[in-house]
Structure 1
Amino acid sequence: MTIEEVLDKHQDRLLAVPGVTGMGVGERAGQPVLVVMVAAITPELRAGIPASLEGYPVEIEASGEIHAL
């Protein structure tokens, strides 16, 4: 399964977690990663977001609040 397919499969569930503001695909050390953007990194969010999904690592990034313009 491609990383994009994994993102599509899990995106709705992760976006429903309070504090999650977005998701995307990134790269760390030349390897693809799933990026979960959150308003602020908290112990509760760290505990509720898996370290990997279907073999792809998950990175948590603090993005702050995101508002549509």
Structure 2
Amino acid sequence: MKKVREVRQKFEQEWLKIEGVSSIGIGKEGSSYAIVISYSTNETYIRTNIPAQVEGIPIIFTYSGEITIH
């Protein structure tokens, strides 16, 4: 879990700059921890710019829809 947090922290600001990325969190894929990228648009572009695995940590992409704060 520590390495997952470190990798997320290392890339979070860069990934949040990609249009369509809504949030970045930590989740599970099977019994392993993973980084979860939530997106509202541009799935193909996001998947092209964020690999499916970073430093041995899997990346899960999930559609969140548009997130608004009131």
TM-score in terms of structure 1 length: 0.90
Moved over 6 A (4+): none
Match of 1:35 in 2: 36
State the shift of 1:41 in Å.
5.6
Q: Distance in 2 between matches of 1:10 and 1:42?
A: 18
Cα deviation per residue 1:40-64 (whole Å; 9 max; x = unaligned)? 3632222111111111000110001
Alpha-carbon distance in 2 for matches of 1:42, 1:23: 14
Residue 23 of structure 1 is matched in structure 2 by 24
Instruction: Look up the SS of the partner of 1:12 in the other structure.
Output: helix
Q: Which runs of 5+ in 2 are unaligned?
A: none
| Partner in structure 1 of residue 45 of structure 2 | 44
Query: What are structure 1's unaligned runs of at least 5 residues?
Result: none
SS at match of 1:7: helix
Query: Between Structure 1 and Structure 2, how many residues are aligned?
Result: 69
TM-score between the two structures when normalised by the length of structure 2: 0.88
Q: Output the CA distance in 2 between the equivalents of 1:67 and 1:41.
A: 17
- CA deviations on 1:22-44 (whole Å, 9 max, x unpaired) are 00000011110100000036322
State whether residues 38 and 61 of structure 1, in contact with CA within 8 Å, keep that contact through their aligned partners in structure 2.
yes
Partners in 1 of 2:13 and 2:38 — Cα distance? 13
Q: Distance in 2 between matches of 1:40 and 1:19?
A: 5
Task: Give identity over the alignment, percent.
Answer: 29
